[in-house]
Amino acid sequence: MPTRLREVDLVIVGLGWTGGILAKELSEAGMRVVALERGGMRSTNPDFAIPLIRDELKYAVRNALMQNPARDTLTFRHSPTEPSLPMRQLGSFLPGEGLGGAGVHWNGVTWRWTGIDHAARSYYEERNGKSFIPADMPIQDWPMTYAELEPYYDKFERTAGVSGKAGNIRGAKQPGGNFFEQARDRDYPLPPLEPSYSQTLFNDATAQMGYHPFPRPCANASRAYTNPDGSRLGACVYCGHCERFGCEANAKGSPHITVIPKAMAQPTFELRTHSWVTKVMLDSTKKKAIGVAYTDVSTGQEYEQPAAIVALCAYAINNVHLMLLSGIGTPYDATTQKGIVGKNYCYQPGGGGVTLFFEDKIFNPFMATGAFGIAIDDFHANDQFDRAAMGALGGATITVGQSNGRPIGYRPVPAGTPRWGAEWKKATAKWYLRAMNIGVTASNMPNRYNAYDLDPTYKNVFGQPLLRLTYNFLENDKKVIAYVGQKAAEIARGLKPTSMTGPGALGEYNIVPYQSTHNTGGAIMGTSPGNSALNKYLQSWDVPNVFVVGASAFPHNSAYNPTGPVGALAYWTADAIKKRYRQRPGLMT
């Protein structure tokens, strides 16, 4: 028999970036807030202290900070005609677990999405004509404009300590920044990090070719920084242990050192770790949530936490899973194309990149940060880029980063090298210092068959159906990767490497090797209940006291990483709850 607890104003499911932002903003506004985090407590010291944090086997291979797929995972198939099978080991993407969530183990790339992303359908209809958009591509505009979200992007950049260089301050182009950037009110809070040698080569080569290189904005602090809330960040030491690790120097903008401690200082806030939410409880009308049911996974005790508002702030995949398990909204059916929840799952194709090998250059790849890099946006944010020539919607960024030089995982070798044995060993020793990569990251447009639903066969540790993912790369993705991959190869050839690999063609999606933890959609936002699960405040159309915050709300995926708009939308939603919903609960318009 579950223990029924005392009602609170807001219960938050999952305490990462979005949950942390809501927790801070709304507990400071005087609301009684309980956050339920299914993983454990974490703090920089001792959890991320050196030397133990630099354990590649524990954190990068065995995924110590991630969700345990033996307890909960998803099933996968390429198309509705295939049987689905559970993902028993993490691979393609890495959902985080524990206080801070993915905000602890992320790299820190913090973009503001483009105006084209905000007007995803209307931009292409106007520029390329309605027929340019395939019939099975349910692309749609965001329900708010970039200008509306701008102050919230700014707030998130300042909270997370983003290092970068503005390209456009209130319409005035800024030399050294992103030429194609949307207008921003002011520069980044911190200057860019020191570029690597490979980044300098890329910067000079692309500038000479007439492209517009700029430092990629990143939440790796280029110097010690105190954010507007008084949270302190240290200077990045270029240790190369961001992705899959917590930051030892508090230099990576993360919720566990910023918003979460601020919430925890509030007497009206309570955090419960090891608390696994299994369901949002609805009343008999199914139009109102009365709270959440959860299990303390350290004791097995079940609880019900009544709340006036429920905020789903788990990883994007788990937000959709909880909606489907709880009966919030109508599940999407790809065959009939009826229903909404589960629709427009998108990912982020890579694969068009090239790796360059130089006999005469030393790159020191171990001097790295998760997010620093030099990028060009000429084939993505550039609204003059002729997509008709590419024959596809969207685009791709071309970037030289260097997120790590980890000795187990980072082993670049030229094409034709054996995959194992003495020759491989010799090659990997020779080329470790002498390789650089030019990465191509593409946007991903939705398709009617790329979607989530509940699996009919497989169940999680609580006996609940697993989420089933149906997904594959499509013609549009292949065209973008092929087109922009050639551009990357052209840049690479200009650098005159001894040899180079790639660009590869995009084949079928493979869920086994790691690609990116940029899973979007499933609980999408829009302008009406007919085209979306959530309104512009990320409020469920069907159950208006449920808010679903995170990349699950994106109707498509950009070539940009998702965390910038994820943070901005969390502040946007927190503001709407604070200033409007609290005074007049109900569907906001």
Partner 1 sequence: MLRQVGGVWFVVGGAIVALVVMSTSLVGAADVEKGKVVFEQCAVCHSLDGSGDYDGPTLKAVIGRKAGSLEEYRYSAAMKRSDVVWDADTLDKYVADPQAFIPGNRMAFAGIADKGERDDLIAFLAAATKDSKSN
Q: Which of 137, 160, 219, 249 binds partner 1 (CB under 8 A)?
A: 249
The span from the CA of 192 to the CA of 187, in Å, is 11
Number of neighbouring beta carbons within 10 Å of residue 158: 18
> Of 422, 432, 436, nearest to 496 (Cα)?
436
Could you say which residues in the range 445-504 bind partner 1, by CB under 8 A? none
What gap in Å lies between CA 574 and CA 142, rounded to an integer? Answer: 18
Which CB atom, from 85 or from 264, has the smaller least distance to partner 1? 264
Minimum CB–partner distance for residue 37 and partner 1 (Å): 19
Q: To the nearest 10°, report the CA torsion of 487, 489, 490, 491.
A: 90
| 191 touches partner 1 by CB under 8 A | no
Q: How far is the CB of 237 from partner 1 (least distance, A)?
A: 4
Nearer to partner 1, 326 or 403 (CB): 403
46 belongs to the binding site for partner 1 (CB under 8 A): yes
**Per CB under 8 A, 545 contacts partner 1:** no
Count of residues engaged in binding partner 1, rule: CB under 8 A:
21
What are the angstrom distances between the C-alpha of 441 and each of 34, 132, 557?
38, 22, 11
Residue 37 engages partner 1 in binding (rule: CB under 8 A)? no
- Report in angstroms how near the CB of residue 264 gets to partner 1 at its nearest: 10
250 binds partner 1 (CB under 8 A): yes
Residue of 224, 290, 293, 587 interacting with partner 1 (CB under 8 A): 224
Residue (107 or 460) nearer to partner 1, CB = 107
Range in contact with partner 1 (rule: CB under 8 A) among 226-234, 323-331, 394-402, 449-457: 226-234
Helix (H) or strand (E) holding 482: helix 475-494
Stretch that binds partner 1, among 60-68, 241-249, 475-483, 510-518 (CB under 8 A): 241-249
| Minimal distance, residue 100 CB to partner 1, in Å | 15
CA dihedral 349, 355, 361, 366 (to 10 degrees): 50
Dist CA 482 CA 440 (whole Å): 10
Using CA atoms in the order 565, 570, 576, 579, what is the torsion angle rounded to 10 degrees? -120
Decide the pairing of beta strands 520-522 and 343-346: antiparallel
Pick from 6, 51, 336, 386 the residue near partner 1 by CB under 8 A: 51
Task: Single out the segment in contact with partner 1 by CB under 8 A; choices: 44-52, 380-388, 532-540, 576-584.
Answer: 44-52
Q: What is the spatial distance between Cα 553 and Cα 548, in angstroms, rounded to a whole number? A: 7
CB of 18 to partner 1, least distance (A): 24
Q: Which stretch binds partner 1 (CB under 8 A): 40-48, 325-333, 485-493, 550-558?
A: 40-48
Minimum CB distance to partner 1 smaller for 134 or for 261: 261
Among 4, 30, 50, 425, binds partner 1 (CB under 8 A): 50
Q: What type of residue is 309?
A: I
Which among 45-53, 338-346, 460-468, 571-579 is the span making contact with partner 1, rule CB under 8 A?
A: 45-53
235 near partner 1, judged by CB under 8 A? yes
Residues in contact with 97: Cβ distance below 8 Å, sequence separation at least 6, in sequence order: 38, 39, 65, 66, 67, 68
What is the signed CA dihedral for 8, 11, 17, 21, rounded to 10 degrees?
-30
- Under DSSP, the state recorded for 533 is S
Tell the smallest beta-carbon distance from residue 194 to partner 1 (Å). 12
Nearest to 95, CA basis, from 57, 38, 148, 43: 38
Range in contact with partner 1 (rule: CB under 8 A) among 3-11, 150-158, 227-235, 517-525: 227-235
Which one, 207 or 224, has the nearer CB to partner 1? 224
- Strand pairing report for 289-296 and 520-522: unpaired
Which listed residue (3, 40, 49, 586) binds partner 1 by CB under 8 A? 49
Bridge-based pairing of strands 85-86 and 168-169 is unpaired
In the bound state with partner 1, the residue whose beta carbon lies nearer, of 69 and 261, is 261
SS3 of residue 344 by DSSP: strand
Which of 239/325 has CB closer to partner 1? 239
Between 138 and 234, whose beta carbon lies closer to partner 1?
234
518 counts as catalytic: yes
HSE at residue 88, side-chain half, CA atoms within 13 A, is: 3
The residue among 252 and 487 lying less far from partner 1, judged by its C-beta, is 252
Report the candidate in 44, 107, 406 with the shortest Cα–Cα distance to residue 244: 107
CB 307 within 8 A of CB 35: no
Rounded to the nearest 5 degrees, what angle is found at the Cα of 405, between the Cα atoms of 214 and 422?
135
229 binds partner 1 per the rule CB under 8 A = no
DSSP 231: -
Q: Which is nearer to partner 1, 85 or 237 (CB)?
A: 237
CB of 188 to partner 1, least distance (A): 18
Asked if residue 44 binds partner 1 (CB under 8 A), the reply is yes
d(C-alpha 388, C-alpha 400), whole Å? 26
- Write down the least CB distance from residue 45 to partner 1, Å: 4
First to last CA, the chain: 39
Under the binding rule (CB under 8 A), the answer on residue 41 touching partner 1 is no
HSE-CB at 567 with a 13 A cutoff on CA atoms is 32
Which member of 28, 248, 477, 542 binds partner 1 (CB under 8 A)? 248
388 binds partner 1 (CB under 8 A): no
Residue 254 within binding range of partner 1, rule CB under 8 A = no
Binding of residue 223 to partner 1 (CB under 8 A)? yes
Going along 383-537, which residue ranges are E strands? Answer: 396-401, 435-442, 451-459, 465-470, 499-501, 520-522
Q: Nearer Cβ to partner 1, position 107 or 182?
A: 107
Q: Counting contacts by CB under 8 A, is residue 243 touching partner 1? A: no
Instruction: Please tell me which residue in 78, 241, 518, 556 is annotated as part of the active site.
Output: 518
From CA 269, how far away is CA 263, in angstroms rounded? 6
Angle at 332 between CA 327 and CA 338, to 5 degrees: 115
Is 237 near partner 1 (CB under 8 A)? yes
Q: Helix axis angle, 563-576 relative to 17-28, nearest 10°?
A: 30
- For partner 1, the binding residues (CB under 8 A) are 43-46, 49-51, 223-224, 232-235, 237-239, 247-250, 261
Return the active site residues.
518
